[in-house]
Structure formats: C-alpha cells, structure tokens
Structure 1
Amino acid sequence: MIVSLIITLRETLEMALIIGIIFRYLRKSNQLEYKKYVYWGIIVGLIMSISGAILINSLSILFEGRTEQIFEGIIMLIGAFLLSTMILWMLNQKNIAHELEEKLHMQVKNTHKFGVFSVVFVSILREGIETVLFLGAARFSEENNSLLGAILGIIIAIILGIIIYQGTSKINLKLFFTITSYFLIIIAAGLLAHGIHEFQEAGIIPIFIEHIYDINFILDENGTIGLFLKGLFGYNGNPSLIETIVYVIYMVVIFSIWRYLKMQKMQQNKEKSSKIHPNEISLPSDQISS
C-alpha cells in the first residue's frame, strides 16, 4: 500500500505540475483559446495510460507457474530501471518548467494546435506509462492494498496540485522530490532484488547460495512488520547470494551517480554565479526545477 501511495503521489503530482505550468503559460501569454487542446491532450493521454494498465493486468492473468515468475521478474526489472532513470533524469534537469514553456511557445507561435495537443499528450502519456509500469511491479511485490494506496496517492497529489496552482500555500517541491527520490531508489533496489528472486525461482539465474543469512527469527518477512517492509523496501529475511550482491551493487552505483550529478550541478551553479555581474539583478528561479 505504501509503495503504491508513494509512486502515484509523486507521479500524479508531476502530472499536476505539468498541467499547471501549461495553463499558467497560456494565461500569461493570453492564449486561452488553446485550452481545449490541452484538455484533449490530458484526456487522450490518460485513456492510453489506463489502457496500458488494463493490458498489463490482462497479460499477468494469462501466465501461470514458471512463465508467471518470468513475467513478474521482467516487470519488476523494468520498473526498477525506469524508476532509477526517472530519478536521475530529474536530478539532471536544470529547469523543467522553462523547457516545457519553450516547447509550448514554439507551437503557439506557429499556431500549431495539434502541436499543443502533442506536447500535453506526450507529457501525460510518459508519466502515465511510468506509473502503470511502477504500479505493475509494486503490485507483484506488495501483498495487498496496492489499489487503495494508489487511489490515496492520486487524491493527495490532486489536492496538492490544486493548492500549488492556486498559490494558496508555499510547498517546498525540491524537498518533496528529494525525499521521495530516496524512497523510490530504495523501492527500486527492492524491485530489482525481487526480480532476480523470481528469475531464480524460474531457474533462469543460478542460486549458488540459497540463503546467505536468515534473520526471519528476528523479523519474519511474513509477519505484519515484515510484510510492510517487504512491500516498501523489498525486505527479505533470507535472501540468496545473488540477490544480496545485486542489491548492494545497485545501491552503491545509484548513489555514486547521484553524488556525481549533484557535485556536477553545484559546480555549474558556482561557475554560473561567478559570471554574473554584481550590478545585474537575477530573477527568481522557477519553483519547479530540480
């Protein structure tokens, strides 16, 4: 439940912020006649995303036994990969709002109504497909209540999106995305290890050592707390050697890349600030940047 809530909260809030940026741009540029194309982009993007969710769910029902384990393992690995790349991509972005407004400006300037629709559609579809794949992977790792968590996440995100758009509250988006990014990295590591476990169960990956350690007598993975941690972080009380190695390597690599990108960004900001003339007045940066 918690995994699904975090995923839909973050992804839906990203969708809400994208929509807010688009409407804000149209209002500022006095181009409100394009609003209907924005709505159509949102609707079609959501329909395509929901269709993808139905397709994945339908496919999962078709498989049994070994093929089901392989299918679940593939979905988990895809989910872990997309979660990781999405987090690192956002970390490497300088100003998402500015880039989105630039795309819209080019389409509006050339009166490309379909272009405006396309910008919105692609943005919503990308977030929607990511959400569908993440939830598909999370559903296989969580025991129950994944649907409830997903719905709660969507509701909370919509409320936050409305609050931000109306400007009735100052929410620190940078802090929000940083905290959720840490959670999502740990979730991705759990999905990766769980995917490896499914492949081992299917006989695709050798086991070598079935249980490198066993702490289920301390914290049972099938107990109340164990199931909660299993759904949230992919907790396994008796992992195999390969699962443990993959989990540790992933965490080391992903946080090393994270640190490198952060250091690189700090260096770029330092160089940029050193070039600004003392008499120049810098405009406040957009709230939606990483």
Structure 2
Amino acid sequence: MLDATILVLREVLEAALFISLLLALGAQFNLRWHWERLAIPLGLVASWLLSHFALDVAMAFDGIGQELANAGLLIVAIVSFIALATLLAPTLRQSDNKESLHGTIFFACCIVIVAASMAREGSEVWIYYSSYSDSPSAMSSALMGGLIGTGIGLSLCALVYYAFAFMSRRAFIGVFFVIAALVVGGLSMQLAKLGLQTGLLDSGPPVWDTNGLVNERSWTGQFLHALFGYDANPDRIQVGFYFGTLLVLLAGIGIRLLPQGVRRA
C-alpha cells in the first residue's frame, strides 16, 4: 500500500501543480476559458492509450519508442509553457494587461501543458496497476494506496490553488514566472536524460553532486524531482539543456516586452 501511495502521489504532483497554477492564473485575471474541461479528460484518455499500447510503443523505433513518446510529450509541454509565459510577459509591466490571455493560443497552451503531463505521468500509474491484474488481494491494497496518494495530491492541489488565487496579482505574476522557469528547466533536463538513455546524446561525467545537500532518493528529493525535475547528478548535456531552455524563455519574454514599433522593425 505504501509503495502505491508514494508512486501515485509522485505521478500526481506534477499535473496537480500545473492545474493549480493555471486555474489560479484564470482566477487572477478573471478569465472565462474552461480549458480544464477538455484538458483533464484528454489527459486521462491519452494516459490510458499510452499504457494500453505500451508494449507496441516500446518496441517501435528499435526499442526506444517509449522514450521518444515521452520526449515528444516533454517537448510540447516545454514549448507550451514558453509560449504561455511569453503571452503573459506584458503583465510584468502592467499587471492588469490581460488582452493576450483571451486568445485561442492561451487556451491551447493550457490544454497541452496539462494533458501532456497527465499522459506522461498517468500512463505509468496505469502500467503499475496492470501488474496486479492477476492478484485481486494485492490489487485492492494497491488501489487503497493509490486513493490515498491521489487524495494527498488533490489536497495539495487545492492548497496551492488557493494560495496562488488569493495572492495580490503582482505577487502572483512574479511567482508564476519563477515557477515557469523552474518547470521548463526541469522538463528540459528530463528531455536530455531521455536522450542520454537512448544513446541519441553522448553522456559524460556529472557536473556536480548535490546528494549531500538533498538526496535524490529522499522524500524531499523525490518531491523536487516530481515538481521541478530535480537531478542530483546532472550530465553536462542536461545542464546545457537547462540553461539553453531558460535563455529561450527569457528571450521570448524580452522580445514581448519590447515596444511594438521596435518589434516590427
């Protein structure tokens, strides 16, 4: 039961953070887009499909199909987060500027971010439970643990949402951009790690080791990994992906903040 609780909680945390953050964004700017009505069902269906066809996916592309599928989901999530932060950039200058948040691009970004996260993380939960299909007693214990993990994750989701929703708008905007930077950096490190695991990228020695500060296998380390892709022993390729993605994010925000006449020139 404990294993199921930890596994489900770990998989739920990332999507819960994204949902809380984006719902709070809508509450802060009084947006009427109900993207969650499409994103959550889409994410659930996509996660089931990925788990149901897991063997076929894994055997594709010379045995690296699963890694490539996860890499694709990571890429669309990273691009969507950068696009969303770029759309939100004018609020750094004028907090009540929400003109760009009413378009279909904003709506699509929210859907893609949440659905991609749920598909990637949720498929692992489906696969985990499928291993208990021949043992009803073990399945009931695992389901109970999963319900506990889901309950904890949803409770944290609610707490984070209300904490964000009741912040001042200016404070929330600052928090949003900090979290966006941490998230896209973490997702890019996970993307690089998949490239290393498949041999598409050349590995090298770790750049640093922060296990002495926060052990990656500890509760805190797993919590940080689930939320922000924490890696205690990143390869130089992972570090390069991290800072490269942050540069793209900052460039998008910077360009968006330029006066309109300068951008057209």
Scaled by the length of structure 1, the TM-score of the pair is 0.59
- Aligned counterpart, 1:74: 72
- Aligned counterpart, 1:7: 18
Deviation at 1:12, TM superposition (A): 1.4
User: Over aligned residues, Cα RMSD in angstroms?
Assistant: 4.0
- Aligned counterpart, 1:59: 49
Higher CA-based Rg: 1
**Amino acid corresponding to residue 111 of structure 2 in structure 1:** G
- Aligned counterpart, 1:176: 172
- Residue 245 of structure 1: which of 240, 251, 262 is its match? 240
**1:120-159 deviation digits (Å, cap 9, x = unpaired):** xx976653343222444566899x9577435643576479
Q: Which runs of 5+ in 1 are unaligned?
A: 23-40, 104-118, 164-170, 269-290
**1:86 to 1:14, Cα distance in 2 relative to 1, 3 A:** same
Q: Would the aligned equivalents of 2:75 and 2:191 in 1 still touch at CA under 8 Å?
A: yes
Confirm or deny that 1:258 pairs with 2:249.
no
Confirm or deny that 1:195 pairs with 2:195.
no
**1:49 to 1:259, Cα distance in 2 relative to 1, 3 A:** closer
- Aligned counterpart, 2:86: 88
**Amino acid corresponding to residue 69 of structure 2 in structure 1:** F
**1:158 to 1:129, Cα distance in 2 relative to 1, 3 A:** farther
Confirm or deny that 1:207 pairs with 2:202.
yes
- Residue 114 of structure 2: which of 118, 131, 135 is its match? 131
**1:86 to 1:150, Cα distance in 2 relative to 1, 3 A:** farther
Deviation at 1:182, TM superposition (A): 0.8
- Residue 49 of structure 1: which of 14, 39, 47 is its match? 39
**Amino acid corresponding to residue 79 of structure 1 in structure 2:** A
**Amino acid corresponding to residue 196 of structure 2 in structure 1:** Q
**1:212 to 1:69, Cα distance in 2 relative to 1, 3 A:** same
Deviation at 1:183, TM superposition (A): 1.1
- Aligned counterpart, 1:230: 225
CA distance in structure 1 between the aligned counterparts of 2:161 and 2:107, rounded to whole angstroms: 15
Percent of residue pairs identical = 12
- SS of the equivalent of 2:70 reads helix
**1:123 to 1:233, Cα distance in 2 relative to 1, 3 A:** closer
Deviation at 1:11, TM superposition (A): 1.1
- Aligned counterpart, 2:131: none
CA distance in structure 2 between the aligned counterparts of 1:123 and 1:260, rounded to whole angstroms: 18
**Amino acid corresponding to residue 131 of structure 1 in structure 2:** V
- Aligned counterpart, 1:33: none
CA distance in structure 1 between the aligned counterparts of 2:206 and 2:118, rounded to whole angstroms: 28
**Amino acid corresponding to residue 50 of structure 1 in structure 2:** I
**Amino acid corresponding to residue 65 of structure 2 in structure 1:** T
Deviation at 1:6, TM superposition (A): 3.0
CA distance in structure 1 between the aligned counterparts of 2:90 and 2:74, rounded to whole angstroms: 24
CA distance in structure 1 between the aligned counterparts of 2:106 and 2:84, rounded to whole angstroms: 13
**1:83-111 deviation digits (Å, cap 9, x = unpaired):** 111111111467325985xx9xxxxxxxx
**1:9-45 deviation digits (Å, cap 9, x = unpaired):** 1211234456x455xxxxxxxxxxxxxxxxxx85xx6
CA distance in structure 2 between the aligned counterparts of 1:141 and 1:234, rounded to whole angstroms: 16
Q: Would the aligned equivalents of 2:189 and 2:239 in 1 still touch at CA under 8 Å?
A: yes
Q: Would the aligned equivalents of 1:191 and 1:234 in 2 still touch at CA under 8 Å?
A: yes
Q: Which runs of 5+ in 2 are unaligned?
A: 1-9, 59-63, 126-145
Deviation at 1:190, TM superposition (A): 0.6
